[in-house]
Amino acid sequence: MTLILGIESSCDETGAAVVADGRTIVSNVVASQVDIHRRYGGVFPEVASRQHVLSILPVVRQALDEAGLAWRDGGPEAGLQAGLQAGPEDGLEAVAVTYGPGLAGSLLVGLNAAKGLALGRGLPLVGINHIEAHIYANWLVDAPPPELPAVCLVVSGGHTELILMTGHGQYRRLGGTLDDAAGEAFDKVGRLLGLSYPGGPAIQEAARAGSPTAFKLPRAWLPGSHDFSFSGLKTAVLRIVQKYRPEAEGRPTKPRAVNSQTPPVMRVLPVANLAASFQAAVVDVLVEKTCQAAQDFEARGVLLAGGVAANELLRNEMTRRCPLPVRYPPPHLCTDNAAIIASAGYYRFVAGERAGWDLDIVPGLKLTAQT
Ligand code: KG4
Ligand code: ZN
């Protein structure tokens, strides 16, 4: 059995996890900052990195404790000695860490913690692309491993990527968003509708009481490409919101005459109908273009990944409309966590990959065959 410690800090979740043989979660600890960032309506990078600094060691310690693996204290020298003596035989074989893409300050915290731990314990370090890790959530479920080649739709707050995966570590990027990421569009529209952050789960909830056909919203099909665009859809929602609330972000309020006797018209924003229509438009495009790509590239299945893959309509519609097998992880493995880092780390570790101590963060890292 090969145990890998995974560490994740690319955005606003501090995570550490121990995974066996790339597929079995032994421990998976996530310290979410979502309550802290809610007051800003989005992730505040400086606050995020400071919070990672506070959380990283307790989170790693808890993940090791829950896995029954010891944490060795005693300062750098004792740590180095103990680590060199006792590295692999206590079970851990490597430390895998996200080095990109993500927020620079946040990535630095996890990467440096991972380097310290690996050096102190005499373990190898494996650098992981966060987008690749999201895909590996599909290997962390109790089912036969997904069949390859697969078309992977990675949709989160920071990414919308369509990727052809032909083998472990073998990727071809087919397309991605030209503007907002799908999750970012959910978060921005959630804010426009006055819903709480993050917008994705809030829109899904609000949409339950609404009609997906109440508003005719645009879909950017971008024919002939595997790219996506969500900014036009977001602007269309903004225009509708402004009809109800002229002061909504994006348009200055027209000053009313000082002596005007007519009170402003206050109409109730149809939040549920707008949420349902917006969600349906996003899902429609994601499903159609992913299925098309899967057929174009003769994939054996479709894999969903990333925070937006927790969306019930996306899961259901992809399964209903795509003629190929569709797999998606449970919601808690769709959003950021370190088990997915450890899983991706396992497959890179057994392929012989090792990072040097000079491994640096790459905030704009892309997923390519060379990753
Ligand atoms: O993967 P993730 O935790 O972080 C990034 O790597 O960005 O994804 C977070 C994103 C947020 O934009 C959030 O609104 C979205 O995933 N999200 C959802 C749902 N749950 C989370 N979007 C739509 N429906 C959901 N149920
Ligand atoms: Zn993510």
- 193-229 pLDDT, tens per residue? 999 989 999 999 999 999 999 999 999 999 999 999 9
Q: Are 305 and 334 a contacting pair, CB within 8 Å?
A: yes
The reply to whether ligand 1 has any atom less than 6 angstroms from the CB of 161 is no
Compute the distance from residue 155 Cα to the ligand 2 centre, in Å.
Answer: 8
Q: Indicate the helix (H) or strand (E) that contains 26.
A: strand 24-32
Coil, strand or helix: which one is 224?
Answer: coil
Q: What residues are neighbours of ligand 2 (ion), with CB under 5 Å?
A: 156, 336
The predicted structure's pLDDT at residue 77: 46
> Residue 253: pLDDT band by 50, 70, 90 thresholds?
very low
Angle of CA points 145, 63, 144, to nearest 5°: 10
The reply to whether ligand 1 has any atom less than 6 angstroms from the CB of 186 is yes
The predicted structure's pLDDT at residue 246: 76
Q: Give dist(CA 333, CA 287) in Å, integer.
A: 20
User: Which own/partner contact pairs does 23-26 have at CB distance under 8 Å and 24+ positions apart?
Assistant: 23/139, 23/140, 23/145, 23/343, 23/346, 24/140, 25/140, 25/339, 26/66, 26/67
- 92-148 pLDDT, tens per residue? 999 999 999 999 999 999 999 999 999 999 999 999 999 999 999 999 999 999 999
- 69-107 pLDDT, tens per residue? 976 644 444 444 444 444 444 589 999 999 999 999 999
Q: What is the mean pLDDT of residues 244-266?
A: 58
Q: What is the mean pLDDT of residues 340-344?
A: 98
Q: Which of 347, 296, 349 is nearest to 322 (CA)?
A: 296
Q: Are 133 and 301 a contacting pair, CB within 8 Å?
A: no
Nearest ligand for residue 181 CA: 1
Nearest ligand for residue 183 CA: 1
- In one-letter notation, the amino acid at residue 233 is L
Tokens of 87: 């590295």
Q: Which of 26, 3, 5, 4 is nearest to 15 (CA)?
A: 5
pTM for this structure? 0.90
Q: What is the mean pLDDT of residues 174-180?
A: 97
For residue 149, cis peptide bond before it (omega within 30 degrees of 0): yes
Cα–Cα distances in angstroms (integers) from residue 139 to residues 5, 43, 195, 263, 342, in the given order: 16, 28, 33, 59, 11
- 25-66 pLDDT, tens per residue? 999 999 887 887 787 777 788 888 898 999 999 999 999 999
Q: Which of 133, 123, 116 is nearest to 57 (CA)?
A: 116
Site to probe by mutation for ligand 1, drawn from 38, 107, 156, 287 as the one with most ligand atoms within 8 Å of Cβ, is 156
Residues of the chain with pLDDT > 90, as a percent, come to 79
> Residue 301: pLDDT band by 50, 70, 90 thresholds?
very high
The predicted structure's pLDDT at residue 251: 45
Compute the distance from residue 130 Cα to the ligand 2 centre, in Å.
Answer: 6
Compute the distance from residue 64 Cα to the ligand 2 centre, in Å.
Answer: 22
The predicted structure's pLDDT at residue 265: 55
Question: Which residues make Cβ contacts (< 8 Å) with residue 74, sequence separation at least 6?
Answer: 82
> Residue 311: pLDDT band by 50, 70, 90 thresholds?
very high
Instruction: Locate the ligand 1 atom nearest the alpha carbon of residue 130 and give its number.
Output: 6
Q: What is the mean pLDDT of residues 298-312?
A: 98
Q: Which residues are 125's β-sheet partners? A: 95, 355
The reply to whether ligand 1 has any atom less than 6 angstroms from the CB of 158 is yes
Residue nearest to atom 16 of ligand 1 (CA): 307
> Residue 153: pLDDT band by 50, 70, 90 thresholds?
very high
